[in-house]
Amino acid sequence: MHARQPCYPLGFDPANCGALGFFQLFFDDIVFEHLAETTNSYAIFKGASNPGHQRWTPTSAAELKIFFGIIIYMRVFPSAQVPDYWRHDSNYSYHHIGLYLSQTRFEQLKRYFNISPPYESLPRSQWYQKFQPLAATLARRFQYHLLPASEGAVDEMMIRFTDRSAHTTQICGKPIPKGYKVLVLCDHGYTYSFLFTSNTKSFAELNSDLYTGPLRLSPTSKVIYQLASSLPSDHFSFTIYMDNYFANIPLLTALREKKIGACGMARSTSAEYPATFKFRKNQKPTFPLNMISGLVCQEVLVCICQDNNLVQFMSTVHQITNEPSNYSMKVRPRPRVTNANRANVTTFFGERALVSMPTPKLAIDYNNKMNSVDIADQFRSYYSSQLRVSRVWMPVFFWLLDTTVINAWTLAK
């Protein structure tokens, strides 16, 4: 077990660099120079200097830093409309950003801002090539500047986008029901690795040759394996947690061979799931509360645990023997009584509102460690920088910017 450890470049002083210094670990002068070059190329490509257009002056890395700062400022101090930040009316709050950039120039930069060369100079053979150069640069730096803790989680994130695109996904019940889906590996809010997905095309930058083992992995399992492979598992031990959408026996076996532990909830319909724990719908048995039973399948522990409902788990790092080290005392509130759990509630709780009882460590670890991605989503929701735009790739850029801000803030802590 090890804690997260930051990794700073030579000469970097974290005590005196300030917030901007941490942000520039990811968005340095080289990145801003590249963004200024691609923005100027896109403005020329769109004819911004032609007669009839508003006069375009080539931008610079220094001006784009101001542009980025204003975007972040707008999310910290939200207003109903973008022009409100430049109003000098007593009915509106006064903002000092007009001293650094005019509203006309801000709108012009937002219109022509680009993160890759225009279409004529770069063929688009893949749907993600528009934003992949910047995304790949940030992904490498996310991994370089932090050694994650021993336990992290993989899950999906949604980037809000409600316009029409063949690559967006709709998931009902999510806080962001429609947008681009990203699979991420997080360490308590720090986004360590990520991979974009498409509703109609393949995963972005999926290395199908990364796994060469004998087991057959689905494309989604290969993504999780690729994210886990970004961890320095040759020198440190890691355990990743995942939900039942990703967990299956071939994947956990492949991760075990790579010396990466894994734990997650399971589905009885997943690949090679043992028939012993497959129950017909609406015919699942009810066991005593916190009872746990399991078997080993291809060196993966597959078990069922009785909570309010019967829960299925998979793990390569836990045991379920009766040893005290496999259980922890946990205070549980009295659940709402249903026909399925009435007997357990009556037996274990009676009329008491709280009861302390031994709970399998597997279930406790999963509940405590699975929220790493949710924490990142929570941080991003507080001050999202996403503006209303018409270009379909820009929500991905705003997500990259927000993720960079969160990671820089995590390092600064």
Give tens-digit pLDDT for 99-127.
999 999 999 999 999 998 886 554 566 77
- 307/266 same-domain check: yes
User: Is 90 exceeded by the pLDDT of residue 59?
Assistant: yes
For 252, phi then psi, to 5°, come to -65, -35
The pLDDT assigned to 308 comes to 83
- For residue 253, what are its two tokens? 């076996």
Tell whether 378 is covered by a domain: no
Distance (Å, rounded) from C-alpha 408 to C-alpha 404?
Answer: 6
pLDDT digits (tens, 9 = 90+) for 6-24: 899 888 888 888 889 999 9
- 355/391 same-domain check: no
Stated pTM of the model:
0.91
C-alpha torsion angle, residues 337, 343, 345, 346 (rounded to 10): 110
The pLDDT assigned to 123 comes to 54
Tell whether 208 is covered by a domain: no
The pLDDT assigned to 53 comes to 64
Q: What is the mean pLDDT of residues 323-339?
A: 87
Q: What is the mean pLDDT of residues 159-165?
A: 87
- 403/325 same-domain check: no
- 59/119 same-domain check: yes
- 12/112 same-domain check: yes
- Strand (E) or helix (H) holding 229: helix 219-229
| 357: CB partners within 8 A, 6+ apart | 289, 290, 329, 330, 332, 348
> Which range marks the domain in which residue 34 is found?
5-125+384-412
Q: Count how many domains the chain has.
A: 2
Count CB atoms within 10 A of the CB of residue 42. Answer: 20
pLDDT digits (tens, 9 = 90+) for 23-56: 999 999 999 999 999 999 999 888 887 766 678 8
The pLDDT assigned to 130 comes to 84
The pLDDT assigned to 125 comes to 62
The pLDDT assigned to 114 comes to 92
Amino acid at 380: R
8 Å CB contact between 339 and 392 = no
Mean per-residue pLDDT over the chain, rounded: 89
Tell whether 234 is covered by a domain: no
DSSP-derived pairing of the beta strands 260-265 and 238-242:
parallel
Q: What is the mean pLDDT of residues 340-368?
A: 88
Q: What is the mean pLDDT of residues 261-277?
A: 91
Q: How far is CA 248 from CA 102, 192, 274, 293, 348, in A?
A: 54, 23, 11, 18, 33
- 306/263 same-domain check: yes
- 395/355 same-domain check: no
